[in-house]
């Protein structure tokens, strides 16, 4: 079972920041938070991951609370092409195979509206 809890759906206006929350209250010390998204009919797309520090890349920013029990993915200027299902996943980093298995929950369906 997924170890994360996400709202089932969110709306965001185009050009505004989209803030997607995730709860992972049982996260272990060696587990990272990963975010993926899946645009309709496409393969999941890796967005970002982090351990405890905030992370930023060209796609998004990841804010992890100090107690690591929750995080927020921020898309700074959402576009219509960001409409997708966003998955928050907790897993141990540094392992492939079954130890590194991604367990996808139901995710958050983000709808970006004009």
Partner 1 sequence: DAGITQSPRHKVTETGTPVTLRCHQTENHRYMYWYRQDPGHGLRLIHYSYGVKDTDKGEVSDGYSVSRSKTEDFLLTLESATSSQTSVYFCAISVDPTYEQYFGPGTRLTVT
Tell me the CA distances in angstroms from 28 to 4, 55, 67, 111, one per residue in order. 12, 19, 11, 31
Q: Does residue 107 sit in helix, strand or coil? A: coil
Q: Measured from the CB of residue 12, what is the shortest distance to partner 1 in angstroms?
A: 23
Q: Measured from the CB of residue 96, what is the shortest distance to partner 1 in angstroms?
A: 4
DSSP strand E in 1-44: where?
9-13, 18-23, 31-38
Residue 2 or 10: the one with the smaller Cβ distance to partner 1 is 2
CA dist 77 and 39 (Å) reads 17
By CB under 8 A, name the binding residues for partner 1.
32, 34, 41-46, 49, 93-98, 100-102, 104-106
Q: Measured from the CB of residue 114, what is the shortest distance to partner 1 in angstroms?
A: 27
Residue 85 or 112: the one with the smaller Cβ distance to partner 1 is 85
């Amino acid at each position: 079972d997924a170890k994360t809890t996400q709202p089932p759906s969110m709306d965001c206006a185009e050009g505004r920041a989209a803030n997607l929350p995730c709860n992972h209250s049982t996260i272990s010390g060696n587990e990272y938070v990963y975010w993926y998204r899946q645009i309709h009919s496409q393969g999941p797309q890796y967005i970002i991951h982090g351990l405890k520090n905030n992370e930023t890349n060209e796609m998004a920013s990841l804010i992890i609370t100090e107690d690591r029990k929750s995080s927020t993915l921020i898309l700074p200027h959402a576009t219509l092409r960001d409409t997708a299902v966003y998955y928050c996943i907790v897993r141990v980093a540094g392992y492939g195979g079954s130890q590194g298995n991604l367990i996808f929950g139901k995710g958050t369906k983000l709808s970006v509206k004009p």
